[in-house]
Amino acid sequence: MSPDLNPIEHLWDQLKRSLKSNFSNVTNRQELINALKLCWERIPEENITHLIESVPDRFRECIRNRGGPTRY
């Protein structure tokens, strides 16, 4: 399945970028868990809503591009 069709991939990317930029000095498992929770809570609900609402457009573009790259 194309990552373009899977909105969670974009959320993982946002989470990873937030973790790298805000918590680059994590040194143990518990710090990582706490940092991930904070990063997750900071993702605006609008971002998640937008990703969900964009799924039909993602499917259409993927079909139009015959499975090739999309703008997503």
For residue 72, tell me if it sits in a domain.
no
The answer as to whether 7 is a domain residue is: yes
Indicate whether 26 belongs to any domain: yes
Range of the domain at 19: 3-64
- In a domain, residue 12? The reply is yes
Tell me, yes or no, whether 11 lies in a domain: yes
Residue 65, pLDDT score: 85
Residue 71 lies in a domain: no
What is the total count of domains within the chain? 1
Say if 69 falls within a structural domain: no
The first and second tokens of residue 23, run together, are: 């918590």
In this model, does residue 68 exceed pLDDT 90?
no
User: Per residue in 11-65, pLDDT tens?
Assistant: 999 999 999 999 999 999 999 999 999 999 999 999 999 999 998 998 898 888 8
Q: For the whole model, what pTM was predicted?
A: 0.72
Whether the predicted pLDDT of 9 surpasses 70: yes
